[in-house]
Chain A
Amino acid sequence: MSGIEILQIWVAAFFTLAIFSFLYKDNPLFKFGEHVFAGLSAGYYIGLVWKSIILQQLWYPILAGEWLLVFPAMLGLLMFARLIPKISWVSRVSLAFVMGNTAGVFLISQLNGMILPQMQATMLPLVSPDGFGATLMALIIVVGVISTLIYFYFSKEHTGALGVTAKVGIWFIMVAFGAHFGYTVMARVSLLIGRVYFLYHDWLGSFYQIL
């Protein structure tokens, strides 16, 4: 392990401990870590946009003769008109382009790639030839989808059969929330494990290198 690698590990360990110190109480060390992270991220993004968009995707291609890129560049510049109140309306041209383009792309991809395949996967034969287990699963999916959709149907008061079905829907929603919450706890614990593993193996390990 080289000297620079050890230094990197120590910097990472210092900021990990600085952020963890908030668990005891808010303190200047935590604030310092938080502000350094926010500043570094902002600086990194500015550098990234400058290099990977302005230079690589716009300036260099224009210099190489791709003159058509001048038009998207102009649309981008129009966005800055928002800073001048008198001509701020000009920025709507660029926004209209972005909104139209995004709507066109996403309308097709969402319909084709999300809504229709997911609907198709819900239209299951209630009696499956694969046995009782598959039939039960199909029933759970169909009942779950219908009752959850009915819970979100607000044009009629949830009474009678509609009310009972909506209540079944709530149970399905609660189960889904429970699964999501359980997984979220697992995810957060994993992140903690990652940092503790780093401190134990890499940071404490670097002591042996130094000694």
Chain B
Amino acid sequence: MNIWDRLARLDRRWIYLLVALAVIFPLIVPTTFKIHITPEARQLYDAVEALPDSSVVMLTFDYYPSTLAETEPMSIAALHHLFRKDCRVVTVTTIPLGGPSIAERVTRAVAAEHGKVYGVDYVNLGFKYGYVAVLKGMGSSIEAIYPTDNSSVPLSELPMMRSIRNYGDISFIYIVSDNAIVDYWISIVNAEYATPIGIGVTAVSAPKYYAFISSGQVTGLLGGMKGAAEYERLVSKEAMAFKGMAMQSLVHLLIIALVIAGNIGFFAGRRAKKRTAA
């Protein structure tokens, strides 16, 4: 049995071990990789940067806890950018499992860093069941859909919400999502109410949304942890996603090496079989 045969029969648990080592190594030995800012991430940053100060921005937390590694750094970086620009932020979620509590925890932590006050500078509307009705309904009246915020405080008692009635009062919608809800934000909210939309999505769904950039329906796109790291870089708040890129890059290099080795092994094995047959 030559080396290629052994490689073809390799127990996959050795590969898991190699991947684990590639992830753990940069944690023990701090390693940094250069990050290139993509035009799509730059476009999203510029769109937020171009908003007049104290604009109202809706930030969505449309993701489950399982994808926190990709999505939460986007939300944190977005909030730093928005609060730094003195934007007033309205957070919503269409995800019941974790969405409201993630929004509450992340927003309050970043707001405290910027000295922002709940009800004046930001509001967490939380979750409401039936996303199509919710997205359409907020076009007429946000208060009709969310009579209270996430903590059951009536919107009429929150000073910030007195001047925000519907999408007409919102300058930009910043969507952070791990699922196809983005399609409805685009096809219902952007198409019907013409509110500009920027998105941060998991890497799995990122390729799909490039088409919406070129059609002009979406203003800027962050794809996965790499997109989050780019935004962290742009807002000069390098954190978890930026650190994660070293691990990401090492694992990618390992996978590329394994794919090449696997292919060489496959062709070498086929050649050896042909020789034996001859």
Q: Do the two chains bind?
A: yes
| A189 CB contact (under 8 Å) in B132, B188, B223, B248 | B248
Q: Is B70 an interface residue (CB 8 A)?
A: yes
Give the total number of A-B pairs whose CB atoms are below 8 A apart: 121
Binds B, one of A109-117, A149-157, A163-171: A109-117
Closest to B98 in A: A44
Contact A183 B244, CB 8 Å, known A121-B214, A190-B203: no
Contact indicator A193/B96 (Cβ below 8 Å): no
For A200, what are the chain B residues with a Cβ–Cβ distance below 8 Å?
24, 27
Contact indicator B252/A189 (Cβ below 8 Å): yes
Total contacting residues, chain A, CB less than 8 A: 40
Contact indicator A193/B204 (Cβ below 8 Å): no
For B255, what are the chain A residues with a Cβ–Cβ distance below 8 Å?
185
| A113 CB contact (under 8 Å) in B132, B192, B214, B240 | B192
| B225 CB contact (under 8 Å) in A24, A102, A112, A190 | A190
Q: Is B190 an interface residue (CB 8 A)?
A: yes
8 Å CB contacts to B: which residues of A4-30?
Answer: 23-24
Q: CB-defined interface of A47-59 with B at 8 Å, one 1/0 digit per residue?
A: 0110011000100
Q: A144 to nearest B CB, angstroms?
A: 11
Q: CB-defined interface of B202-236 with A at 8 Å, one 1/0 digit per residue?
A: 11101100010011110000011110000000000
Q: Is B105 an interface residue (CB 8 A)?
A: no
Interface residues on B, range: 35 or more
For B128, what are the chain A residues with a Cβ–Cβ distance below 8 Å?
52
For B188, what are the chain A residues with a Cβ–Cβ distance below 8 Å?
109, 113
Q: B160 to nearest A CB, angstroms?
A: 22
| B190 CB contact (under 8 Å) in A113, A191, A194 | A113
A110 to B187 CA separation, bound complex (whole angstroms):
6
| A121 CB contact (under 8 Å) in B23, B186, B215 | B215
Contact indicator B225/A186 (Cβ below 8 Å): yes
Interface of B is mostly: helix
Contact A190 B207, CB 8 Å, known A109-B184, A197-B240: no
Contact indicator A120/B215 (Cβ below 8 Å): yes
Contact indicator A191/B67 (Cβ below 8 Å): yes
For A49, what are the chain B residues with a Cβ–Cβ distance below 8 Å?
129
Q: Is B13 an interface residue (CB 8 A)?
A: yes
Q: Is A180 an interface residue (CB 8 A)?
A: yes
8 Å CB contacts to A: which residues of B12-31?
Answer: 13, 16, 19-20, 23-24, 27
Q: Is B191 an interface residue (CB 8 A)?
A: yes
A49 to B130 CA separation, bound complex (whole angstroms):
11
Closest to A121 in B: B215
Closest to A102 in B: B132
Contact A197 B27, CB 8 Å, known A183-B224, A189-B248: yes
Contact indicator B203/A183 (Cβ below 8 Å): yes
Contact indicator A114/B251 (Cβ below 8 Å): no
For B163, what are the chain A residues with a Cβ–Cβ distance below 8 Å?
none
8 Å CB contacts to A: which residues of B144-188?
Answer: 183-184, 186-188
A57 to B184 CA separation, bound complex (whole angstroms):
22
Contact indicator A194/B203 (Cβ below 8 Å): no
Q: B166 to nearest A CB, angstroms?
A: 17
Q: A122 to nearest B CB, angstroms?
A: 9
Contact indicator B187/A183 (Cβ below 8 Å): no
Contact indicator A193/B248 (Cβ below 8 Å): yes
Q: Is A192 an interface residue (CB 8 A)?
A: yes
Q: CB-defined interface of A95-116 with B at 8 Å, one 1/0 digit per residue?
A: 0000000100100011011100
For A110, what are the chain B residues with a Cβ–Cβ distance below 8 Å?
187
A residues near B (Cβ < 8 Å) are 23-24, 41, 44-45, 48-49, 52-53, 57, 102, 105, 109-110, 112-114, 117-118, 120-121, 141, 176, 179-180, 183-187, 189-197, 200
**In the A-B complex, the 9 residue pairs with the closest CB atoms:** A194-B69, A113-B187, A113-B191, A121-B215, A187-B203, A190-B225, A186-B203, A187-B204, A109-B187
Please name 21 pairs of A and B residues whose Cβ atoms are closer than 8 Å in the assembled complex, sorted by A. A41-B97, A52-B127, A52-B129, A53-B129, A57-B129, A109-B184, A112-B192, A113-B186, A114-B186, A114-B187, A120-B215, A185-B252, A186-B224, A186-B226, A186-B248, A187-B70, A189-B248, A190-B69, A191-B69, A191-B70, A200-B24
B residues near A (Cβ < 8 Å) are 13, 16, 19-20, 23-24, 27, 66-70, 96-97, 127-129, 132, 136, 183-184, 186-188, 190-192, 202-204, 206-207, 211, 214-217, 223-226, 240, 243-244, 247-248, 251-252, 255
